[in-house]
């Protein structure tokens, strides 16, 4: 893992937690895979990863990083993404939660320049 050179925060993280209706997980994975090329075209998109909960099997968390809120808005308003959202709500998701957060600091094991001053190392 490496922090981007010169970056010390300011990016936006979107946390998308989702549970699927019975038998619909593959539909979600297929939909996400089909959207990924469009996602990667969005100016300001940095990365996305997906994880399955160790505590709650069948609950997934998608963690995406964006340059700023304008990039998040561009993706939210993207026509294909909106169609996928409607399909997810109508056919695939049993529940979801979205959280948007601003990064205050960004550092790694080897790039500690922007760590909080109060953290003891």
Does the pLDDT at position 48 exceed 70? Answer: yes
So what's the pLDDT on residue 2? 47
Q: What are the tens digits of pLDDT across the range 58-70?
A: 999 999 999 999 9
Domain presence at residue 111: no
Question: Which of 103, 117, 81 is CA-nearest to residue 10?
Answer: 103
Nearest to 7 by CA among 117, 90, 95, 111: 111
> Containing domain of residue 67, as a range?
12-102
Higher pLDDT, 41 or 9: 41
22 occurs within a structural domain: yes
In a domain, 70, yes or no: yes
In a domain, 108, yes or no: no
The answer to whether residue 119 is domain-embedded is no
pTM here? 0.84
In a domain, 118, yes or no: no
Q: Does residue 109 form part of some domain?
A: no
């Amino acid at each position: 893992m490496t922090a981007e050179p010169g970056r010390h925060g300011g990016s936006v993280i979107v946390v998308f937690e989702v549970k699927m209706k019975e038998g619909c997980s593959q539909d979600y994975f297929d939909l996400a895979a089909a959207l990924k090329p469009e996602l990667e075209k969005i100016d300001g998109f940095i990365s996305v990863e997906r994880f399955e909960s160790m505590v709650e099997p069948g609950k997934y968390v998608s963690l995406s990083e964006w340059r700023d809120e304008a990039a998040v808005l561009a993706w939210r308003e993207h026509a294909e993404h909106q169609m996928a959202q409607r399909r997810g709500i109508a056919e695939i998701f049993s529940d979801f939660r979205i959280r948007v957060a601003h990064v205050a600091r960004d550092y790694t094991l080897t790039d500690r320049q922007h760590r909080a001053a109060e953290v003891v190392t």
